[in-house]
Amino acid sequence: MSAGKKILIGITGSIAAYKTPLLVRQLVKAGAEVKVIMTPAAEDFVSRLTLATVSKNDVLVNLFDEATWANHVHLGRWADLFLLAPLSCNTLSKMAHGSCDNLLLATYLSATCPVVVAPAMDEDMWHHPTTKRNLAAVESDGCSIIPVKHGELASGLIGDGRMAEPEEIVSWLDAFFARQNSLSGKKALVTAGPTYEAIDPVRFIGNHSSGKMGIAIAEELVKRGASVTLVTGPISLQAKGLRRISVTSAAEMYAACTGVDYDIAVMAAAVADYTPVEVADKKIKKNSGELTLTLKRTQDILGSLGKQKRDGQLLVGFALETDNEREGALKKLREKNADLIVLNSLQDEGAGFGHDTNKATLYFRNGEEKNLPLKSKTALAKDIVDTITELVK
Ligand code: CTP
């Protein structure tokens, strides 16, 4: 799977760097073209000469070598994938905060290809809250993480933090490249964020949806090769590599979605169920009495796509319930003719609106259920899109 791929490997200052020449050798043997860059600290652990020999390419460390400038932009654009292995605690922290004091970091900041990291550190560093925060930050910036292993560490302790073995990294990359094109040729429609229903020119009825989950799913679909239309309510989060339609109200979201041809539709938006019957054309002034707003139902986008669903189309809905969660999710699956319902629970710490993490239960038409534990919304999006890919097959 790595055959023919251009892989840029970044090595940082960690004892696990002694394994990287073997990794480079295995990738080259598998038919990949490999270039290596290093931080100055990595040179204490592994030699440039060894890496140049096994990669069959010059190894760069510095942004400037005498009168020559290393073109980090070119390196980041040359690669099909940038793998940081091993990733030290120090470089992780710099990546999370946007530091750019060496060639490897400059390349990371200018890379347009997927970035994968294989961390390596001692157990206590690995479990430190700062490391967790930094790892979550780089993951939400789009990096994929090869999990660390449990075993003997440089300190002599046994614990978590070992870099994955070279052959495990090679298998991980094979699976990554296989997934990359698994949805190519498929058209996807995704909704995300809240809707705002105007009451008057300055007020609206809205909700707390941040749009993070829907955007993570849309970006994951893009990574698998799907051509994605993302319809968002009023949110400022950016999304890469797709066609975006920005709307405000439920009626606008409905209009934007109808007419979009799709193979996969994921309705992750928190669409208002009700909207004011009348919108005042001037700001409503207060008085001493009560104010009554009359609301009418909005059109149900998921329900309407469900009614018109053709063979070969896959429809995914979301549910967020405060009680009778399972019954509520199964009812939506049936009544809206969805193929999959993703249930978020408001009762779980760290899950739901605004958080960077989420947990979910998936409900399938054949009665199957799958629990996805609390993880970052980016990681959860990968699991959901894995499931979608299986269903599309
Ligand atoms: N949805 C939609 N269009 C609407 C309302 C909801 O597409 N006008 C979609 C959401 O994007 C989500 C699912 O339907 O995928 C949520 O269903 P919904 O009926 O809104 O859930 P609740 O309002 O929470 O359910 P109920 O009040 O019926 O319990």
Condensed to tens digits (0 to 9), the pLDDT of residues 237-283 reads 989 889 999 999 999 999 999 989 999 999 999 999 999 999 999 99
Top pLDDT among 356 and 391 is at 391
Closest of 343, 191, 209 to residue 267, by C-alpha: 191
Regarding whether 197 and 150 lie in a shared domain, the answer is: no
Is the pLDDT at 38 greater than 70? The verdict is yes
Regarding whether 102 and 20 lie in a shared domain, the answer is: yes
Q: Summarize pLDDT for 345-354 with one digit per residue, the tens.
A: 777 777 767 6
What per-residue confidence (pLDDT) applies to 67? 66
Regarding whether 228 and 176 lie in a shared domain, the answer is: no
Q: Does residue 377 fall inside a structural domain?
A: yes
User: How far does the centroid of ligand 1 lie from the alpha carbon of residue 230, in Å?
Assistant: 18
Give the domain-ending residue among 145, 164, 180: 180
What per-residue confidence (pLDDT) applies to 66? 67
To the nearest whole number, what is the mean pLDDT of the chain?
Answer: 94
Q: Which of 57, 62, 207, 337 is catalytic?
A: 207
Place of tokens 């251009």: 6
Whichever domain contains 137, its CATH number is 3.40.50.1950
Regarding whether 367 and 287 lie in a shared domain, the answer is: yes
Give the domain-ending residue among 180, 196, 227: 180
Regarding whether 245 and 130 lie in a shared domain, the answer is: no
* pLDDT grade for 294, boundaries at 50, 70 and 90: very high
Mean pLDDT, rounded, for 191-213: 97
Regarding whether 347 and 277 lie in a shared domain, the answer is: yes
User: How far does the centroid of ligand 1 lie from the alpha carbon of residue 388, in Å?
Assistant: 20
Mean pLDDT, rounded, for 388-393: 95
Is the pLDDT at 374 greater than 90? The verdict is no
Percent of the chain past pLDDT 90, that is, above it, reads 82
Q: Does residue 134 fall inside a structural domain?
A: yes
Calpha distance 307→86 (Å, rounded): 51
Regarding whether 208 and 93 lie in a shared domain, the answer is: no
Is the pLDDT at 1 greater than 70? The verdict is yes
User: How far does the centroid of ligand 1 lie from the alpha carbon of residue 366, in Å?
Assistant: 21
What per-residue confidence (pLDDT) applies to 236? 93
Mean pLDDT, rounded, for 316-340: 94
Regarding whether 134 and 234 lie in a shared domain, the answer is: no
Calpha distance 287→257 (Å, rounded): 40
Q: Does residue 353 fall inside a structural domain?
A: yes
Pocket, ligand 1, Cβ cutoff 6 A? 191, 250, 267, 269, 271, 273, 298-302, 317-320, 328, 332
Domain count, the chain: 2
Q: Does residue 1 fall inside a structural domain?
A: no
Give the domain-ending residue among 115, 145, 180: 180
Largest CA distance in the chain: 83
Calpha distance 366→388 (Å, rounded): 15
Atom number in ligand 1 closest to CA 336: 14
The answer to whether the beta carbons of residues 11 and 38 sit under 8 Å apart is yes
Residue from 254, 273, 320, 340 whose mutation best tests the ligand 1 pocket (most atoms within 8 A of CB): 273
The answer to whether the beta carbons of residues 5 and 35 sit under 8 Å apart is no
Determine whether 207 is an active site residue: yes
Which residue range(s) make up the domain with 109?
Answer: 6-180
Helix, strand, or coil (residue 272): coil
What per-residue confidence (pLDDT) applies to 60? 93
Closest of 267, 187, 273 to residue 226, by C-alpha: 187
Regarding whether 244 and 264 lie in a shared domain, the answer is: yes
Closest of 258, 363, 353, 328 to residue 300, by C-alpha: 258
What per-residue confidence (pLDDT) applies to 251? 98
Regarding whether 192 and 175 lie in a shared domain, the answer is: no
